[in-house]
Structure 1
């Protein structure tokens, strides 16, 4: 089950569970759409994988499977990842 991490790892922008601006890679690294598209060119700076829109968990399901609360930020910030 996805953690639904609460913020962008680059800039710290809040990304609530219903955010359409959240982007994730296959390891669930989480970024806002602005950082994912403008800074990272759609590639995760951690693994180099594709960043895609994070699915939205229905509000009723959040009651039994809540979103994550641990904020993860890259201390060095984000830089573009070279394209493979």
Structure 2
């Protein structure tokens, strides 16, 4: 999964270190990332000490636009308008 690989890169972590962190053999990392289950996502998030949603979208993608009233939908990229009262 691209997002998990991005997190590893940002942390300077090799796939070997990642395999050790989540308790699998290095040879199994690519297969695990190709078709992860919910349980796998939970195990990865727990081992990396991040909320599971960060395996799918970066926190920066959720930041408001410059006018602080618009957000982008993480799924479709559409604009979400927020009314501040």
User: Which TM-score band (shorter chain)?
Assistant: under 0.3
Which one has the bigger helix percentage? 2
* Larger CA Rg, structure 1 vs 2: 2
Structure with more contact order per residue of length (Cα contacts < 8 Å, sep ≥ 6): 1
